[in-house]
Amino acid sequence: MDTYFDAIIVGTGVAGCFAALTLPKDKKILMLTKAGLEESDSFLAQGGICVLKDQEDFSGFFADTLRAGHFENRRESVEIMIQSSRPVIEKLIDYGVDFARDREGNLLYTKEGAHSIPRILYHDDITGKEITSKLLAAVKKQENITLWEHTTMMDLLAKDNHCYGILVKKSGELFPLYAPYTLLATGGIGGIYENTTNFSHLTGDALGIALRHNIALEHVNYVQIHPTTLYETTPGRRFLISESVRGEGAILINKAGKRFVNELLPRDILTKEIYKQMKMDDMPYVRLSMMNITHFDIQKRFPTIYTYCRQAGYDLLKEPIPVVPSQHYFMGGIHVDKNSKTSMEHLWAAGETSCNGVHGANRLASNSLLESLVFAERAAQEITRLMQTASSIIDLLPLSCHSSHAEYLRNTFSVNLSDYQDETAYAKHLKQMIWSEIDRENKIRKDGNKI
């Protein structure tokens, strides 16, 4: 089995796929994922993807993003994302992504919470699945890209703040993978929460590993709660009711059946209002009604949501549905610069794993897919530039006197394979590290000091 690659990408969501497709076709790329190829949160995104409609929209798009983020956004990153949006959309279309269009073939735009105008492209209510599946299909066609499923990154192979690859566990076996460039695109941290819209295996492993190596993190306490997920008593991932539903006119009602809030408030503010109403009503949920929507066919516009709710026993055309806030998105992450470079050499991060400052303290609806694509592409572009002059990983690897595979890892990277044998205990350790960091930053913020 080959253990040497030109680049390793951990994650097969939109960030990982777009980065892999941007890297040179003559380089040997490995992509790996902890679960199945289609078990990334990118597949779960319902609403859509933002795009700059024209240059006249820049100031509005910019202002909407900052306002939603409570003006804690990194402005350079926001500008990069917005100005890069149209070229990224054009590339997605080239990969076969089918966005909604009118009869004349023009792209259709919808509006969601905290947006001043409609600027969101969509594909029914499964935009994330449409984009990610098309990118993944393109990845599978590339002969230079190898895909591994059910492979867990256990640690980085690092020395003197340089990354030389990763330690993985596959089919019960621990072994190293070496590369001069590593990109972490492992998704968010929803799996550490009881109620989440994320896949349960997305437990923020990359963040815990980053903490072990003193890699800079940023705003790990910035966690977004989605205001409307279907209230269910059974355990497991919560089904998201897209913000697009509210953008199209659905209303939130209290126990008495009265509308109690502006449904298009930023997500964090709307969540607080819902919790307040739940307390006033002494109910574990509020209700969302689509019965006032008459300007389009709900079953055609939101087929996935309609079908799921029908299976759960609710007819959206005839009755409101119970909804409750759930953990949804992670605005913090591994600190990166405008090219997705981390504080460790030879290591990049993109997507929900990273924090480039675009979202500030609260993500504007439908900015997540766009942000992931833009900054994954920038990571791949920078790696490509470095590939033109850099040495191979074999030349870069530190020398160490060793008599065995295990001894080399121990002497060179301080990696003791016995530390990772109990995968459950190790995962629990990483989770505890993340919670400790979240608690630490919450305390700092509560004390009034800005991180």
Pairing of strands 173-178, 162-170: antiparallel
Residue with tokens 């739940």: 278
Q: What is the pTM of this model?
A: 0.91
Using CA atoms, how far residue 85 sits from 133, 136, 176, 263, in Å, is: 20, 20, 37, 26
Alpha helices in 262-401 (DSSP H): 267-281, 298-301, 303-311, 368-387, 393-396
Instruction: Check: CB of residue 41 under 8 Å from CB of residue 202.
Output: yes
Instruction: Give pLDDT, residue 138.
Output: 98
DSSP symbol at 430: H
Sign of the C-alpha dihedral, residues 243, 135, 216, 196? positive
CA terminus-to-terminus distance, the chain: 44
User: Does the annotation count 267 as an active-site position?
Assistant: yes
For the chain, 451 residues long, give each residue's pLDDT as a single digit of tens: 789 999 999 999 999 999 999 999 999 999 999 999 999 999 988 889 999 999 999 999 999 999 999 999 999 999 999 999 999 999 999 999 999 999 999 999 999 888 999 999 999 999 999 999 999 999 999 999 999 999 999 999 999 999 999 999 999 999 999 999 999 999 999 999 988 999 999 999 999 999 999 999 999 999 999 999 999 988 778 999 988 899 899 999 999 999 999 999 988 899 999 999 999 999 999 999 999 888 888 899 999 999 999 999 999 999 999 999 999 999 999 999 999 999 999 999 999 999 999 999 999 989 999 999 999 999 999 999 999 987 677 777 887 655 578 889 998 999 999 999 999 999 999 999 999 999 999 888 766 544 3
Residue with tokens 């895909």: 147
Hey, how many other C-beta atoms are within 10 angstroms of the C-beta on 392?
12
Instruction: Give pLDDT, residue 66.
Output: 97
- What stretch of H or E contains 49? strand 49-50
Residues 6+ apart with CB under 8 A from 102: 108
Nearest to 376 by CA among 43, 129, 77, 18: 18
Residues 6+ apart with CB under 8 A from 178: 3, 4, 5, 157, 164, 165, 393, 394, 397
Q: Out of 74, 267, 287, 363, pick the active-site residue.
A: 267
Instruction: Give pLDDT, residue 451.
Output: 34
Instruction: Using only the alpha carbons of the chain, give its radius of gyration.
Output: 22
Instruction: Give pLDDT, residue 244.
Output: 87
Instruction: Check: CB of residue 434 under 8 Å from CB of residue 211.
Output: yes
SS3 157: strand
Q: What values do phi and psi take at 57, rounded to 5?
A: -85, -10
Alpha helices in 114-203 (DSSP H): 127-141
Nearest to 262 by CA among 68, 113, 65, 63: 113
